[in-house]
């Protein structure tokens, strides 16, 4: 499913006029209106598609490893998804590699809990440090300090 989703997402972003409309509608609503399409309609389309993808992921989580409905089914993947999207730079292949990295961080955090008797929040600390250092590196790259000439 992941390979088909990545291929479909890449094709949609690279070859679709609708993806162009979404980008223009999100970055410059006035330009979208001038081009003749509704920025609000494209935003609603993106919200509906995002909800559809989140629902598909939720069904995969419930029907796959767990196999039953449970009140405590949400392990907090939303925060990890933000890190994956940022680390992958919203590119289909980058998101795949970033998700593999985050999965390794989850596994490493669980291994640290078991072998080193560390607290359960160690995975969140690893993820937070990754996001903090990524944002810091981007801030330093984008806002280089220069000496006045």
Cβ(102)–Cβ(80) below 8 Å? yes
Mean pLDDT of 128-146: 87
Name the average pLDDT for the chain. 85
pTM value surpassing 0.75: no
Q: Which residue has the higher pLDDT, 149 or 31?
A: 31
| Domain chopping of the chain, boundaries | 1-74, 75-149
Report how far apart the first and last C-alpha atoms of the chain are (Å, whole number): 55
In our burial notation (b when 16+ CB lie closer than 10 A, e otherwise), range 20-55 reads: ebbebbeeeeeebeeeebebeebeeebeeeeeeeee
- Reported as a single tens digit per residue, the pLDDT across 92-125 is 889 999 999 999 988 888 888 889 988 888 888 8
Kindly tell me the number of DSSP H helices and DSSP E strands found in the chain: 7, 0
Dihedral sign for Cα 67, 68, 69, 73, please: negative
- Reported as a single tens digit per residue, the pLDDT across 58-102 is 777 777 666 666 666 666 777 888 899 889 988 888 999 999 999
Q: Which residues contact 45 (CB under 8 A, 6 or more apart)?
A: 18, 22
- Is residue 74 left, alpha or beta, with left meaning phi > 0 and alpha meaning psi from -120 to 50? beta
């Amino acid at each position: 499913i992941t390979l088909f989703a990545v291929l479909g997402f890449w094709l949609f972003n690279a070859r679709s006029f609708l993806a162009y409309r979404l980008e223009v509608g999100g970055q410059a609503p006035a330009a979208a209106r001038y081009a003749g399409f509704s920025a609000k309609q494209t935003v609603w389309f993106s919200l509906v598609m995002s909800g559809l993808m989140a629902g598909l992921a939720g069904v995969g989580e419930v029907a796959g490893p767990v196999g039953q409905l449970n009140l405590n089914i949400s392990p907090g993947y939303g925060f990890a998804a933000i890190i994956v999207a940022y680390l992958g730079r919203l590119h289909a292949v980058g998101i795949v590699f970033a998700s593999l990295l985050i999965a390794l961080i989850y596994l490493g955090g669980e291994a640290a809990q078991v072998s080193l008797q560390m607290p359960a929040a160690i995975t969140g600390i690893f993820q937070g440090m990754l996001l903090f250092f990524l944002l810091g590196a981007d801030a330093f790259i984008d806002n280089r300090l220069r000496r006045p000439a």
